[in-house]
Structure 1
Amino acid sequence: MSQIKKGAALNYTSIILTNIVGLLLTPFIIKKLGDAEFGLYSLIGAFVGYISILDLGLGNTVVRFVAKYRAEKDKEGEENFLATTMIIYAFISTCVIIIGTICYLNIESIFEDSLTPDQINSAKIMFAILVFTLTVGLPAGTFEATCYGYEQFVFPKIAKILHYVVRSLMVVGLLLWGGKAVALVILDASMNLILFGVMIYFVLARLKVKFKLHNFSKRLLKKIFGYSLWIFVFALVGQFQWRVGQLVLGVMTDPTIVAIFAVGVMLGTYYGAFSTAISGVFLPRATQMTVTNASPKELTDMMIKIGRLSFIVLMFILSAFILFGEQFIFLWVGESYKDSWVIALIIMFAYTLPLVQAFGNSILEAQNKLSFKAIIYLVFLILGTIFGGYLAKYYGAIGMIAGTVTGWLIVQN
């Protein structure tokens, strides 16, 4: 079995495991933390998510360029590119520290109307830990991306599955021991640092990849940012899709509403993950097809093949969730989270078609043709977020997601 097939299989294993464990673990976490603290935990994670976009799209850029250099058998170019990327990440990590410090000093003023003094203190601690992890994690992400550029999907996928299993078991133990949200953040940070070390070892010791600066080329920098800029814009789109609602609700309402919204969004992202498990492993292949000048028919045939499989999987999940989702939510986290079902359902309906067409984005990434699409998506999602904030005044979490999705639907049509 090829690395791509194994990677897709492991993606589905990871998704099924993540969904099952997540479905079992989430009500346990909510019960142990309480609605308010779980909402606070979700809110700070979303807040830090905005700083994570300082990655500037370099993760996908590494996959694309490493695959390109390998297709061209240009080892020196690959080494020089990776070394240049690490220099860029050193600058980015410095920016993360500066911006994180500014945000840390202003957390109290941002959330003074929605959080209690004790919640603000906990928020500051969690924020500081998450920013530190992000500072290390952004450059460390280069190593995982390098694995994918080499079409080595098996090791990183297995490592991440093991990481998730161990982390989940430790979360249970920690909460039974009496740990709270801050303890969960410390655990996550520790586990992530271990995972970063494992990825670095595999790339350097097993794949024998070298990071060597042969020359510092402004032309290469221009190519990197010319490509990554639009991946960065799509990262902004991702933030407006999934995280901005939590932040807006966190400022306007209270952590309990944020918790309801977070659960609905979590179920919506589980839905999307089943599709991206297939399309996500095909960026290196799309890049190689582009480099070797594959015909439009070959690219279209590949897109149809992947889209058909994604559609079958998504329709099965969507049908089941329409029929049994509300009852499931009541049994899973309680009747107070009934709005989470509506939120998840809105997301699923809105994103089915884009998910089926996801390989088209991989082709656009490989051909560096994302600019127009990225700008349009960002503009309308910002407008959708503003509309969602307005609706949230009257309809709470459901209004927030309805506004966000409206912007997305306008883009699609």
Structure 2
Amino acid sequence: MKINQLKGGAALSYINIFLTNIVGLFLTPFIIRSLGSAEYGLYTMIGALVGYMSVLDFGLNNTVIRYVAKYKANNDKKGEENFLAHSFIMYIFISILIGIIGTAIYFNLDKIYSETLSIEQMNMAKIMMSILILNLSISLPGGAFTGICYGYEEFILPKVVNIIRYVLRSVLVVAILVYGGDAIGLVVLDTILNLVVIFINIIIVFKILKVKIKMHKFNKSLFGDILKFSLWIFSFAIVHQLRWQFGQFIIGLYYSTSIVAIYAVGITLGNYYGSFSNAIASVFLPKAIQMTVKEIPQKELTDTFIKISRIILIVLLYILGAFVIVGKDFVFFWVGDEYHLAYYYALVIMIGLTPILSQGFANNILEAKNLMSYRGKLLLGLTISGTILSVFIAKRYGVMELIFTVVFFLLLERLIMIPYYKEKANLDMKRYYKEITPLFLATILITVLYVFLNSFLPEKNLYVFILVSFIYSITYIIVIQKIMTDYERSFLKKSIKKISATIYKK
């Protein structure tokens, strides 16, 4: 049963990634065209503003998973019930805190966006804000029930529910917008669906898993243990919010909602780029983490690091090269010519994310060795510094300069971490960079060649876009195949067989 849950959960994760990327690619331009640039920008801006408060869960959802799994493994039902009771007390305080902060922001929206929002936009923003605050104050504690399911290794039911929710949302979004709905309608829809999902997960937890939440003994120190465990998860959540989402707030202070919309499209493309890496990393990282708890030689550890990183890079560099070559046309066909700047925003973001996305294994080694505090402090310090600087950069220069600032601090963190990975994670970083360099050189050569050839072809032509994309893909496969290792070729063949078998079964 456990194996079926793990395999089923993994398969459903891939389905979810596929849906969110493919459906999102079609749904995003439809939403933009239906709402218009100004309203779409307002929709994403207010969503991001409320999203900043999501970090106030202090990493509790992940903590619930770890602690519930621990109590279950030890068959400590009483300890589990007591832990959950303490957790939900913390969730109550978090919901109250969100309500207080949200109310304060609500009554100050006029001051915050006095320079950029019209009276009509301000009224719409306040309605969306109030609904989203209610949504968040319920969703954060509601997420604990998903965490309990995962702690019990019940992956299939919650993931199926989430997939159904996503498909249903997509259909209803189209229906709402076709019949003249607006951004407020989308916010109401998301709130209703979140409540339904939480209700279903509550049924799974109490009726199927037979979980109980009961205070057996009040323990102050348990609150401290929970917060201590959640601290770095909380820190990384802050980093994620400040790194990308905070930009929408800054831009909204100085520029129109239409410009916020263009920035949001660039961020969306960057998120799609990252999701491909996460899909691949999830195959390897559980095994990789197990390796780190053993005393294995540096060579073997570095070999694994290089294997994982190269496979991720083969995929990422293909996407990055394709985006450099035909990305302008893609943005044009996807969301329209008025969003052409989103191409440049997304390109800079992708370049900045590439070294981070390809080196996830190194961070897992640090996590397994309980050495995350250094990187956590470094990330937090650099991100806060970058955020403060980006406020002045955005006001004085513009959106592109803001993105360059964020990416600069991203790459600076990678540079500073190199000696730390070598010393603490026991990785041969010199050999690592030597092994991945051929992939970068091959991609650069192919990309430069096609950019040059593409300059002689007409722009914004769908047939040319498809033809160039196809020929580039063939060229990339042929060239990269020449520098692939036997392991990478074997992995590719196995992956193709698994995909073919899945399609054949269907």
Instruction: Provide TM-score, normalisation by structure 1.
Output: 0.92
Give SS of 2:296's match.
helix
Distance 1:367 1:76 in 2: 30
TM-superposed deviation, 1:225: 0.7
- Cα pair 1:53 1:235 within 8 Å, conserved: yes
TM-superposed deviation, 1:109: 0.6
Distance 1:134 1:96 in 2: 8
2:101 aligned residue (99, 102, 111): 99
Distance 2:78 2:29 in 1: 51
Corresponding residue number in structure 1 for 2:293: 294
Assess, with a 3 A threshold, how the Cα gap between structure 1 residues 52 and 58 changes in structure 2: closer, same or farther.
same
1:334 partnered with 2:333: no
In the TM superposition, 1:165-204 aligns within 5 A as: 165-204=167-206
Q: Deviations over 1:348-386 (max 9, x none)?
A: 221122223334545555665432211211111122223
Corresponding residue number in structure 1 for 2:239: 237
- Cα pair 1:39 1:259 within 8 Å, conserved: yes
TM-superposed deviation, 1:86: 0.8
Assess, with a 3 A threshold, how the Cα gap between structure 1 residues 304 and 142 changes in structure 2: closer, same or farther.
farther
- Cα pair 2:63 2:226 within 8 Å, conserved: yes
Corresponding residue number in structure 2 for 1:212: 214
- Cα pair 1:275 1:355 within 8 Å, conserved: yes
Distance 2:267 2:151 in 1: 30
Higher mean displacement: 324-333 or 39-48: 324-333
TM-superposed deviation, 1:314: 2.6
Among all aligned residue pairs of Structure 1 and Structure 2, give the percentage whose two residues are the same amino acid: 49
Corresponding residue number in structure 1 for 2:148: 146
Assess, with a 3 A threshold, how the Cα gap between structure 1 residues 199 and 316 changes in structure 2: closer, same or farther.
farther
Higher mean displacement: 326-335 or 277-286: 277-286
Corresponding residue number in structure 1 for 2:82: 80
Q: Deviations over 1:283-333 (max 9, x none)?
A: 98889x59xx93153995876665454334333332332332221001111
Assess, with a 3 A threshold, how the Cα gap between structure 1 residues 297 and 62 changes in structure 2: closer, same or farther.
farther
- Cα pair 2:205 2:211 within 8 Å, conserved: yes
- Cα pair 1:149 1:284 within 8 Å, conserved: no
Distance 2:70 2:306 in 1: 24
1:252 partnered with 2:254: yes
Q: Deviations over 1:39-84 (max 9, x none)?
A: 0000000100111111111111112222333333333322222221
Give SS of 1:112's match.
coil
1:22 partnered with 2:24: yes
Task: Name which one, 1 or 2, has greater alpha-carbon Rg.
Answer: 2
TM-superposed deviation, 1:111: 0.3
Corresponding residue number in structure 2 for 1:271: 273
Assess, with a 3 A threshold, how the Cα gap between structure 1 residues 204 and 315 changes in structure 2: closer, same or farther.
farther
Distance 2:146 2:280 in 1: 18
Distance 2:268 2:68 in 1: 32
Paired amino acid for 2:28: T
Assess, with a 3 A threshold, how the Cα gap between structure 1 residues 145 and 369 changes in structure 2: closer, same or farther.
farther
Distance 1:199 1:157 in 2: 10
Corresponding residue number in structure 2 for 1:49: 51
Higher mean displacement: 118-127 or 8-17: 8-17
1:391 aligned residue (390, 393, 397): 393
- Cα pair 2:313 2:358 within 8 Å, conserved: yes
Unaligned ranges ≥5, structure 2? 416-506
Distance 2:101 2:284 in 1: 34
Q: Report the RMSD for the aligned CA atoms in angstroms.
A: 2.5
1:90 partnered with 2:92: yes
Higher mean displacement: 214-223 or 361-370: 361-370
TM-superposed deviation, 1:281: 8.5
Paired amino acid for 1:21: V
- Cα pair 2:67 2:151 within 8 Å, conserved: yes
Distance 1:360 1:3 in 2: 28
- Cα pair 2:145 2:205 within 8 Å, conserved: yes
1:400 partnered with 2:399: no
Distance 1:77 1:175 in 2: 49
- Cα pair 2:284 2:308 within 8 Å, conserved: no
The count of corresponding residues between Structure 1 and Structure 2 is 410
TM-superposed deviation, 1:219: 2.3
Distance 2:4 2:307 in 1: 17
Give SS of 1:238's match.
helix
